[in-house]
Structure 1
Amino acid sequence: MEEPSFLTSYRRTKNEAPPYFVNRLPIQCRYEYQMPRDVLQKELRKSLELIQRMAISDSLSSHTGCVNTLDWHEDGRHLLSGSDDHSLIIWDTIQQGAAAPFTIKTEHQGNIFSAKFLHQPDAFVSASGDGLVIRAQLAEGLVQQRPFKCHTGTTYRVLPLVDDAASFISCSEDSTVRLFDVRQEYSNCKERPGCPHSLLVNMEKAVSAMALNPARPFDLAIGCSDSTITLYDRRKMDKALNRIRLQTVKNMPRRITSLQYDRRGSQLLANVLAEKIQLLDLRVGQQLEMGTAKKLQDAKELLPSDAMPIKRLRLRGDWSDTGPQSRPGQRPAAANAAAPSSSSRFMVEISDLMTTWMRNQMTVSQPPAVAPTPSPAAAPAVVAPRRTPLVPTTDRSGHGGRNDSAIEDLLASTHAAAAQQKAPENMVSLKPLVQYSGHRSSRTMIKEACFWDDGYIMSGSDCGRIFIWHRASGRLLNVKEGDAHVVNCLQPHPFDFLLATSGIDYDVKLWRPILEEADFDEDAAQSIVDVNNQMLEETRDTVTVPALAVVQILRQMAARRNQQAQPTVNPAQAEAESSDSQEEL
């Protein structure tokens, strides 16, 4: 079989000068610098004017589902994408018209959430919602796929090891982080879920984010669903270097959706569900005293009963609170056209019905407040039971719904679980160096935040926009519309002034500074920020449920209604009627 065109172009150009974007800048930006092109390119990436002139220059369309992951190859020419359509695509971003994208139909049965090149254009690894991890290799025009079925839950991230091209790391909802080495015998394991051989560490909490330190490749950061980040040296996984609990609103446990070290390895960027993005200075964290977790736990126990509000339910597939046109308090009917569809009206009615029913169930089952024994150091107080989420705010599909159908999860205890969650004693509370706000991140668990050069921070948002902040101050510098619903992925080019983004739309968008002048409007941006802040409060505690859960709720509601409709029979009267019936017989 003929070699894929993208490999041919790679072999032809890998020893040539990379195609720097400076040659394609608008005429007014072509400066006659007497410096090497790579130095010029680095200087251009620092330009705020060019950042504010960025716009969509190309749209790469071939996927038939949401595009959940992007990765640039180190050659700067090829881009890897993975999608809900279970396929991977390798794009040649230089010869888009001349070279057709190379599509790989994978063995994944779930949405692909992460895909990475393995430091060569003909080998890559991917992970999906069904827990499957696949290493693919191109050989003589054919794609050889090697599956790893060790995970028992959704696999969110895969990371290739810089120091070992044959190994990669994955993390999962099943609380495990695994290290795969294709040279080992267990690499052929296909039917052993929960396989102990690849286990690197069990975090005892769902793991949805990881990062490797580019300055010290053995340093591994692991982000979990309880707002914690654990730092390890991969050579000594028996003991953590540090455990950090992020500061969140009301100390609520929140899922970490992405982690990234800066290029010096001294700072860590964390994107947290329904919270601000946080930049952590790890050098400060190493100087903090350990054992502050108990203070956090004590503070959490003093939360008022309304600190964890009753959740509102949302049907999976309802994206009415996302996109550039979404507004606070807006229902699906208002978000759509003037004449809403019957399906939109149905989703509104069902959502309201389920929410009312869930509130009633929680009211009935709500235990009385418990008055603890007062201590001499504290005034007498009544501590109400704390409530935990009925189900995670977002789901194992990555887009805001749960794959499991157990209605018991929806009706889980609203007070006991939180009381039982005790933080490890060696946890530190690390105050963020800088926080970045104005965006909205509550609908998806794969939303990324990243560095642009050394001076800027970027993130996607549930409002369908890209947000860019000044790294040192946290000041918002640009807002760009990038998706009809949600922007999840942002991947800066390794050296060019080029950004790749994706989200709920079925395409990949490429951004370059092609506008004639900067178009950042601070007043318009502030209006967007105000709307996002209001909607974040509305959706912070909203739960997305799948259709099967809706069916189960409706069945239980119907059963309860039938029980209530049946007339109450006096036991004495029933016994008398039974005696009369026996006498007649």
Structure 2
Amino acid sequence: MVQRLELQFRMECHDGCVNALNFNRIGTLLASSSDDLNIVLWNWVQNKPALVYDSGHRSNVFQAKFMPYSGDCHVVSCARDGQVRLAELSLTGRCKETKKLAQHKGAAHKLALELDSPHIFLSCGEDAVTFEIDLRQEKPNKLCITKENERKVGLYSIHSNPVNSYEFCVGGRDHYIRIYDKRKITEVSNGVLKKYCPHHLVDSTTKANITCACYNYNGTEVLGSYNDEDIYLFNNKHSDGAEYIHKYKGHRNNATVKGVNFYGPRSEFIVSGSDCGHVFLWDKETENIVQFMKGDEGGVINVLEPHPFAPILATSGLDHDVKIWSPTAEDATGLSGLKKSVRRNRKEREEERSSEPEMIDGQMLWLVMHHFRRTARRQLRQEGGDVSSSSENIESGEEESGDEADRLQCAPS
């Protein structure tokens, strides 16, 4: 079924990049959040919004999740403004109110649910703080501050162990995935059980931040995606400092804070987006690429959300739509274009590592080029032209201006 995945349809409602996706517990609704500050609950089977509401955030919404066992009436979110908010929805299909639950001193990228609790969840931010938030209490609990040798480590990712609600992992602006136990966090001890890092990065000068870290289905493995490096799998049963057990390569994770995920009922596959605009799926054990699909026209896939039990995959990125993939292709994939994309991704990574620091801010230049590409495509659509051929021309023109046009350091956009 993985090798027969193909694009089923696009769901369009947002007016900005779609930064997060989350299915409800029974898989009937899909929540998406965007730079347009709206949160959309999709009836994805019918390809239409069930509810659109203002999140209450003042800047890019990075995460929105259904609270477990809440009848899909509680949706929590976090954003670039550092706020963590709760939306209370009615059974009649409207948003009654949103309220602020916590405030990070910096962008808040991810939330971690405890799958057995309708009340408690975690948030992390670039201020290095992890909050434990209980909907029954007025104030959040500052659980810990992630540090390395007294230096605060800004966080991009947090995930709770699905079979042990006391344990969670975080990743951010250094090379380490940290495993915490909430019961062992005290004023004396920060509660870190283990730290995992590929051994070649421990003393490396490579600025390989962790953009996403997550557990597999039963918490025995931890996966980490490194900025402009590869994806590494660690055995959570191993001791502190153990080496990775698998590495997945071929994609490129440089332009955005990019997600990674397991796929399959027993986490048999690894799925990630890439700066080249494709979705990659690897066999977890063999490390082979088994599926390779063209995703966003905007060029970057950030979010990959498996359905809770069906062989469905939802993805989003810099495009303003949400894409639904299902195993409906008649034939298994031929992986057409894979070698070319892998070679290009590797070449661009090597060139960027060897290039001198540029005077022009890479993020700003990348955003300008991205705006140019989208404007050109929009004009072509209005004129009734061929979008795909225009996209190729724009890409080739972009190469003439140098690799810096594709350069966006690990920025929360």
Give the TM-score taking structure 2 as reference length.
0.79
Instruction: Report what 1:270 is aligned to.
Output: 224
Deviation track 1:398-447 (CA, whole Å, cap 9, x = no partner) reads xxxxxxxxxxxxxxxxxxxxxxxxxxxxxx2x321000000000010143
2:26 paired with 1:83: no
Deviation track 1:294-322 (CA, whole Å, cap 9, x = no partner) reads xxxxxxxxxxxxxxxxxxxxxxxxxxxxx
Comparing 147-156 with 272-281, greater Cα deviation is found at 147-156
2:50 paired with 1:101: yes
SS in 2 for 1:527: helix
Aligned equivalents of 1:267, 1:142: Cα separation in 2: 37
Of residues 117, 122, 126, the one that matches 1:169 is 122
Give the TM-score taking structure 1 as reference length.
0.56
1:545–1:57: structure 2 CA closer, same or farther, 3 Å change rule?
A: closer
2:269 paired with 1:451: no
For the aligned residue pairs, the C-alpha RMSD in angstroms reads 2.0
Which structure has the larger Rg? 1
* 1:519 to partner: Cα distance: 2.6
Aligned equivalents of 1:205, 1:519: Cα separation in 2: 41
Of residues 169, 193, 201, the one that matches 1:241 is 193
Instruction: Report what 1:486 is aligned to.
Output: 300
Instruction: Report what 2:79 is aligned to.
Output: 128
Q: Which is helix-richer, 1 or 2?
A: 1
1:449–1:247: structure 2 CA closer, same or farther, 3 Å change rule?
A: farther
* 1:224 to partner: Cα distance: 2.4
Instruction: Report what 2:362 is aligned to.
Output: 544
Aligned equivalents of 2:237, 2:95: Cα separation in 1: 47
Comparing 200-209 with 155-164, greater Cα deviation is found at 155-164
Aligned length: 344
2:8 paired with 1:57: yes
1:377-456 equivalence runs, <5 A: 428=241, 430-453=242-265, 454-456=267-269
1:247–1:109: structure 2 CA closer, same or farther, 3 Å change rule?
A: farther
2:175 paired with 1:232: no
What letter matches 1:257 in structure 2? T
2:313 paired with 1:495: no
* 1:272 to partner: Cα distance: 1.0
Identical-pair percentage: 30
Instruction: Report what 1:26 is aligned to.
Output: none
1:187-226 equivalence runs, <5 A: 198-203=141-146, 204-226=152-174
Of residues 140, 152, 157, the one that matches 2:105 is 152
2:332 paired with 1:514: no
What letter matches 1:434 in structure 2? H
1:248–1:69: structure 2 CA closer, same or farther, 3 Å change rule?
A: farther
Aligned equivalents of 1:89, 1:491: Cα separation in 2: 15
Aligned equivalents of 2:126, 2:270: Cα separation in 1: 27
What letter matches 1:455 in structure 2? E
Aligned equivalents of 2:114, 2:83: Cα separation in 1: 19
* 1:545 to partner: Cα distance: 4.2
Instruction: Report what 2:61 is aligned to.
Output: 112
Q: Which has the higher contact order (CA 8 A, sep 6+)?
A: 1
Deviation track 1:509-564 (CA, whole Å, cap 9, x = no partner) reads 00011211113236x312211111111223457763448xx9xxxxxxxxxxxxxx
Q: Which is strand-richer, 1 or 2?
A: 2
SS in 2 for 1:510: strand
Aligned equivalents of 2:157, 2:209: Cα separation in 1: 9
* 1:491 to partner: Cα distance: 0.6
Deviation track 1:208-265 (CA, whole Å, cap 9, x = no partner) reads 1111111222111111211112111122223321122344554534221111111121
Aligned equivalents of 1:83, 1:506: Cα separation in 2: 8
SS in 1 for 2:192: coil
Aligned equivalents of 2:114, 2:219: Cα separation in 1: 16
What letter matches 1:279 in structure 2? L
1:570-585 equivalence runs, <5 A: none
Deviation track 1:165-204 (CA, whole Å, cap 9, x = no partner) reads 1222100001111111122232xxxxxxxxxx62110112
What letter matches 2:252 in structure 1? R
What letter matches 2:228 in structure 1? A
Q: Which 4+ runs in 1 deviate beyond 6 A?
A: none
Aligned equivalents of 2:57, 2:141: Cα separation in 1: 20
Instruction: Report what 2:318 is aligned to.
Output: 504
Instruction: Report what 1:259 is aligned to.
Output: 213
1:466–1:253: structure 2 CA closer, same or farther, 3 Å change rule?
A: same
Of residues 221, 234, 239, the one that matches 1:280 is 234
The answer to whether the 8 A contact 2:260-2:270 is kept is: no
Aligned equivalents of 1:545, 1:491: Cα separation in 2: 26
Aligned equivalents of 1:446, 1:129: Cα separation in 2: 15
The answer to whether the 8 A contact 2:87-2:95 is kept is: no
The answer to whether the 8 A contact 1:68-1:446 is kept is: no
Aligned equivalents of 1:240, 1:82: Cα separation in 2: 31
1:243–1:59: structure 2 CA closer, same or farther, 3 Å change rule?
A: same
Aligned equivalents of 1:538, 1:256: Cα separation in 2: 21
The answer to whether the 8 A contact 1:208-1:255 is kept is: no
Gaps of 5+ in 2: 147-151, 369-413
